[in-house]
Amino acid sequence: MPAAQKLAERVERAGVDGRSLRDKREVTPAEHRLGWSAGLSLDESKLRGSQLLQWLIETANSRGMQMKELAAELGVSYGYISQLRNGIKPISGLSESIVDAAAKFLGLPRIAVMIAADIVKPTDFYSETMDMEGLVDASLKVIQSDPEWGPRMDPEITRGNLRSKLFVVNLYEEATGSRLLMHRAT
């Protein structure tokens, strides 16, 4: 017996067809958006540049926008957004016009969008002769020795990837007004 027929028989035996109930129930705009805006799936979050997608989705959701409206704001189609989410099109391959539109939509500098899309990496701000990993590790040691901030830092961060470690250093610099990475490009 085909699966569809089995399902139909189970619904008939139960006496309830969920489709008819769904059609009668009023659905809020937030429920309409939930399928695409609840955040990225685990597979989607593993894509290079997924941080930009997350920001776009969260911002669109907070504004009560549908995915088609987000696509229109970026000057792309609904299908293009779907291809980015599915990894068919690389997020890191966004055109200049889409980067500009995303920056405007998010209210962020273009460089922030380019970093979130993994077009530009934190390592791009350092020359090849600099040992960025060494600079960041030395900065983490300074943070660990800080009497106020050191106890707050998870020691596991020192085993993290360079991007995560750099993020912690940047947060510390912002919070304290200090500058640990003196060789950073300005």
HEC letters along 142-158: HHHHCCCCHHHCCHHHH
20-69 pLDDT per residue, tens: 444 444 545 544 444 444 566 777 777 788 889 889 988 998 898 888 99
pLDDT score at 179: 86
> Which DSSP symbol is given to 129?
T
CB 102 within 8 A of CB 56: yes
pLDDT in tens, 169-183: 988 988 888 888 765
State the alpha helices, DSSP H only, in the chain. Answer: 3-14, 18-24, 29-37, 42-45, 50-62, 67-74, 78-86, 96-106, 110-116, 132-145, 162-176
pLDDT of residue 25: 44
User: What is residue 50's predicted lDDT score, i.e. its pLDDT?
Assistant: 85
Would you place residue 12 in the very low, low, confident or very high pLDDT band (cuts 50, 70, 90)?
Answer: low
DSSP SS3 for 49: coil
Straight-line distance from the first to the last Cα atom of the chain, in angstroms, rounded to the nearest whole number: 69
Q: Residue 184 pLDDT more than 60? A: no
Mutual orientation of helices 29-37 and 67-74 as an angle, nearest 10°? Answer: 60
Mind listing the pLDDT tens digit for each residue in 70-124? 999 999 999 999 898 888 999 989 999 999 999 999 999 999 999 889 898 777 7
Query: 42-46, 93-97, 155-159, 164-168: which range is least confident on average?
Result: 42-46
Cα 16 to Cα 9: distance, rounded to the nearest angstrom = 11
Q: What confidence score (pLDDT) does residue 126 get?
A: 67
Average pLDDT of span 129-140: 80
Q: What was the pLDDT predicted at 183?
A: 54
Per-residue model confidence (pLDDT) at position 94: 92
Q: Which residue has the higher pLDDT, 134 or 103?
A: 103
pLDDT at res. 6: 63
